[in-house]
């Protein structure tokens, strides 16, 4: 298959005004400028670029989107009780399907998920065609899918046994956060990780001021130091947020090979300062751009995240030169691939890389004229400008029509579930002190 | 005409799950819940809400969108030289038409413009059907449409003479900024304003740290105080930005009746802190949400501005509770109407108000489920979700098809002009020290 008559942003070399991409099986065989070497699908002058990579989120939480927007203590007041009461495997499947639908429509081709019932999420992911990492949650608070820690580890074992080697789904483990696991369980996760080489570990890290205070009070160190001492700060760790970092934390991160998933909308909506992304980038830390769950960031595409990411750095540094759009685009593609340990196969359009790509229209009046393609993509392009989405050589969306999922059924299921959630939230509010 | 089977967000009372709006001539006659009183256009369950009001911008600057993104000194290095060299009446018409096309497609029904060749802009505005305020720029730097200050005032006179009383176009004057006019010219603007009662005055105010330093150095006072002493800080003044305000400035603004046009994306992209909007709101200052020109904020719809506005306040205050989505929606509608002195006729869906409204789809997977309509609109809705746009009872866009403009011709003209601009920028760069 050849896609031609396209503007190409490969993230692997200079822009190509008019070029072509040849695909064999699930990968890119060749890329060239000008006329294609054979029969082709005409991209009509639209942009082809790597599909975006979302290295941190909670797919099923689409069902929580817009709940308790103004409540600072939402995790303990609403989310955990609602999860214990309402989150079943079926609910997880419904929320995941909605998230996958939104991701495909928004130009995301790889997602990382940390939640519950990850085997079901892996099945939905595989059925959708999207590429992804699934991490079984381990935490000391009661969770909907495991009666205790041993059961959670057993689920992680089963997940790894079933999905290791799958072409698009990568299993892993997800200790919730240092404060919700503690050093001993983190050490046990490190041992699990040693026994499952190559599988990613996802964690929330240095996300809140409360977490920093807990680490100082209980352990007289930083939360990054706790993770490092447990043996987890190393390649394969996907650390989400990393908002509150000391100088020592930054140096530790830079030496470790761990990756950071930056969630600018979720952090900003939580009233938190921006993570020191420009500094981490200068230190060579692998950096991706992520959505977090839809209860935190509301949307699951990375177009929504790119402008907030660069604007927060410009404000923090007091100059428009901070974190230019080209660097934000790298975070959304090659950077995310590094964070997920997949930089040798996704995040670029290049021979030998997986054919994970999106066709993006640049013809909306809001996008014109185009002097600076990176600025156009970061500041003027919307998820709705993505025309088609391909993962592993398979079109998952063609001209806005998703091929691998049933949108009407997914929306109907989601609305039905939302009515249950809304009723439960009302109960929580009635019974609150 | 009756529009029915719509979810209604009137900004004039509680949401209506399923209701209707009856329109007579250019205004709303009646609004009701349930079944309509006669034959109707079926809105298919979509949302009807007031069209958004953009109280500060520079319409023709769509042609500068994406230029010199990372250059802090862009005003003096690029914008002013480019304007002197390239900005003719024809270029202004081309850029304005692109801006009007984008505005209509993005759900904006009223714009305020301050630029050059305002009579031509007024003509384009009238032809497009959009409602707007046009302000002839007065400044001490050389401008493209007037050899000197006297000529600029003469143009303002002519603009007022021709357009006062027009049903959709309101003329006015626009002293560029305190530092680019000085106290004497501001006083002359105040006199002009006295002679033209009811016509708005637009100004950039307290936008940059350089401006504050200039006012302190040259006049030993704040820039807001300079405007107040010139007699301009009063109802009818549209003050854009207001980022750097002392306690005294805030009190002056609150007493004055002047309105503030908040431009969160433009300010953030410029590396500036957020304007103290939550504080100004608490003091009762009329507050609108604005895009600024496309060279500063890149897009001309207010969906792009709502999330950045609330997120910046949450970060500044350290809580998710700051500036809730419902308040941001007020800024984008009724607030903007107050800033423009039109709160008695636009910004709400209410009997007697102009029929300026938009039909918005809430059915995208990214928007579902809807627990909190304001949050859905602020965080999950895009300008591309606007299906239809009406101003003064006339559909300017129906199902994404703009009725009053020729999109293909506009885009072709804009691209052609952009080639000229790009060449000129290259010349400036070559000749720079």
B382-432 residue pLDDT tens = 999 999 999 999 999 999 999 999 999 999 999 999 999 988 888 888 887
The confidence band for B296, taking pLDDT boundaries of 50, 70 and 90, is very high
pLDDT at B77: 87
Q: What value does the CA radius of gyration of chain B take, rounded to a whole number of Å?
A: 21
Residue that the structure tokens 């429509």 belong to: A105
pLDDT, residue A410, reads 98
Q: How far is CA A396 from the centre of its chain?
A: 18
| Both tokens assigned to B114 | 């301050």
| Model pLDDT, residue B201 | 98
Q: Are B367 and B376 in contact (CB under 8 A)?
A: yes
The neighbour count for residue B284, using CB atoms within 10 Å, is: 11
CATH code for the domain in which residue A372 is found: 2.30.40.10
Mutation pick from A366, A387, A423, A426 vs chain B, by most beta carbons of B within 10 Å, is A366
**In 3-state terms, what secondary structure has residue A275?**
coil
Q: Which of A270, A379, A382 sits opposite B382 (nearest CB)?
A: A382
Last residue of a domain, one of B289, B305, B339: B339
Q: Answer whether B314 sits within 8 Å of A270, measured CB to CB.
A: yes
Express each pLDDT in B235-272 by its tens digit.
999 999 999 999 999 999 999 999 999 999 999 999 99
Structural domain contains residue A433: no
Which residues in chain A touch residue B414, judged by CB atoms under 8 angstroms apart?
A: 368-369
The pLDDT value recorded for residue B243 is 98
Query: Do residues B139 and B11 share a domain?
Result: no
Q: Evaluate whether residue B404 is within a structural domain.
A: no
* pLDDT score at B357: 98
Residue A73 is predicted with a pLDDT of 85
Asked whether residue B271 is domain-assigned, the answer is: yes
Residue B354 gets which letter from DSSP? B
Q: Which residues of A touch B65 (CB under 8 A)?
A: 368-369, 371, 380
**Cβ neighbour number for residue A147 with a 10 Å cutoff:** 9
Residue B123 DSSP label: H
Q: Give the model's pLDDT for residue A433.
A: 62
Write down the pLDDT at residue B431.
83
Q: Mean of the per-residue pLDDT values for chain B?
A: 96
Residue in chain B lying closest to A106 (CA)? B366
Do A37 and A80 fall into the same domain? Answer: no
**Residue B2: Cβ-neighbour burial (10 angstroms; 0-12, 13-18, 19+):** middle
Residue A209 domain flag: yes
Same domain, B329 and B383: no
Is residue A232 within 8 Å of residue A205, measured between CB atoms?
no
For residue B62, which residues of chain A lie inside 8 Å, CB to CB?
365, 368
Residue in chain A closest to B402 (alpha carbons) equals: A365
CB contact under 8 A, B368 and A65: yes
pLDDT of residue B429: 86
Are residues A200 and A292 both part of a single domain?
yes
How many domains, chain B?
2
Helix crossing, A118-128 with A149-163: angle to 10°? 30
Residue that is last in its domain, among B323, B339, B355: B339
Among B102, B320, B325, the residue with its CB nearest the CB of A365 is B102
Residue B262: CATH number of its domain: 3.20.20.140
Nearest to A271 among B269, B271, B320 (CB): B320
- Is residue A413 included in any domain, yes or no? no
For residue B204, give its domain range. 52-339
C-alpha distance from A382 to closest chain B C-alpha (Å) = 8
Cβ distance A66 to B307 less than 8 Å, yes or no, reads no
Mean pLDDT, rounded, for B11-40: 97
Which helix (DSSP H) or strand (DSSP E) does residue A230 occupy?
none
> Nearest residue on chain A to B72, judged by CA atoms?
A320
Judgement on whether residues A310 and A395 belong to the same structural domain of the protein:
no
Query: Looking at the structure, do residues B113 and B29 belong to the same domain, yes or no?
Result: no
Please report the pLDDT score of residue B433 as a whole number: 62
B420 is a domain residue? no
Domain boundary among B310, B339, B368: B339
Complex ipTM: 0.97
Domain check: are A96 and A69 in the same one? Answer: yes
B13 and B27 part of one domain: yes
pLDDT at B96 over 70: yes
Mark whether A325 and A363 lie in a shared domain.
Answer: no
Could you tell me if A361 and A315 lie in one domain? Answer: no
| Tens-binned pLDDT, residue by residue, of chain A (433 aa) | 999 999 999 999 999 999 999 999 999 999 999 999 999 999 999 999 999 999 999 999 999 999 989 988 888 888 888 888 899 999 999 999 999 999 999 999 999 999 999 999 999 999 999 999 999 999 998 888 999 999 999 999 999 999 999 999 999 999 999 999 999 999 999 999 999 999 999 999 999 999 999 999 999 999 999 999 999 999 999 999 999 999 999 999 999 999 999 999 999 999 999 999 999 999 999 999 999 999 999 999 999 999 999 999 999 999 999 999 999 999 999 999 999 999 999 999 999 999 999 999 999 999 999 999 999 999 999 999 999 999 999 999 999 999 999 999 999 999 999 999 988 888 888 887 6
Asked if residue A356 and residue A334 are part of one domain, the reply reads: no
pLDDT at position B425 is: 86
Is A61 within the bounds of a domain? yes
Q: What is residue A364's predicted lDDT score, i.e. its pLDDT?
A: 98
Both A88 and A45 in one domain: the answer is: no
Contact call for A411 and B382, based on CB within 8 A: no
Q: Where residue B84 falls among pLDDT bands split at 50, 70, 90?
A: confident
Residues ≥6 apart with Cβ < 8 Å to B262? B241, B242, B275, B277, B287, B288, B289, B290, B309, B331
**How far apart, in whole angstroms, are the C-alpha atoms of residue B433 and residue B428?**
10
Q: Does A412 fall in a domain?
A: no
The answer to whether the CB atoms of A379 and B298 lie below 8 A apart is yes
């Amino acid at each position: 298959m050849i896609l031609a008559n396209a503007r190409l942003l490969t993230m692997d070399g200079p822009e190509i005004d008019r070029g072509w991409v040849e695909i064999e099986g699930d990968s890119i065989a060749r890329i060239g400028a000008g006329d294609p070497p054979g029969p082709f699908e005409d991209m009509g002058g639209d942009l082809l670029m790597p599909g975006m990579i979302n290295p941190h989120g909670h797919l099923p939480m689409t069902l929580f989107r817009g709940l308790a927007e103004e409540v600072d203590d939402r995790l303990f007041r609403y989310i955990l009780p609602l999860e214990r009461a309402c989150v079943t495997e079926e609910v997880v499947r419904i929320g995941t399907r909605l998230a996958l639908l939104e991701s495909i429509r928004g130009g995301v081709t790889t997602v990382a998920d940390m939640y519950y019932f990850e085997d079901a999420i892996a099945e939905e992911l595989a059925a959708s065609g999207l590429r992804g990492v699934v991490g079984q949650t381990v935490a000391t608070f009661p969770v909907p899918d495991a009666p205790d820690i041993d059961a959670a580890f057993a689920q992680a074992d089963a997940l790894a046994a079933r999905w290791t080697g799958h072409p698009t789904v990568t299993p892993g483990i997800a200790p919730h956060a240092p404060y919700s696991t503690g050093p001993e369980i983190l050490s046990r996760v490190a041992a699990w990780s040693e026994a499952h080489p190559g599988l990613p570990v996802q964690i929330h890290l240095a996300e809140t001021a409360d977490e920093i205070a807990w680490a100082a009070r209980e352990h007289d160190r930083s939360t990054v130091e706790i993770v490092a001492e447990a043996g987890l700060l190393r390649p394969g760790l996907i650390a989400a947020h990393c908002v509150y970092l000391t100088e020592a934390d930054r140096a530790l991160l830079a030496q470790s090979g761990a990756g950071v998933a930056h969630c600018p909308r979720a952090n900003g909506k939580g009233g938190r300062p921006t993570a020191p992304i420009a500094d981490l980038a200068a230190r060579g830390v692998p950096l991706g751009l992520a959505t977090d769950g839809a209860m935190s960031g509301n949307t699951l595409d990375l177009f929504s995240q790119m402008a907030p990411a660069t604007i927060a750095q410009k404000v923090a540094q007091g100059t428009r030169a901070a974190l230019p759009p080209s660097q934000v685009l790298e975070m959304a593609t090659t950077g995310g691939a590094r964070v997920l340990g997949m930089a040798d196969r996704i995040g670029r359009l290049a021979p030998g890389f997986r054919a994970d790509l999106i066709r993006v229209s640049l013809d909306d009046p809001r996008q014109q004229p185009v002097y600076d393609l990176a600025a156009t993509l970061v500041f003027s392009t919307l998820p709705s400008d993505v025309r088609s989405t391909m993962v592993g050589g398979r079109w998952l969306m063609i001209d806005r029509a998703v091929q691998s999922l049933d949108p009407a059924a997914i929306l109907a299921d989601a609305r039905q579930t939302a009515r249950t959630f809304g009723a439960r939230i009302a109960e929580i509010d009635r019974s609150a002190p």
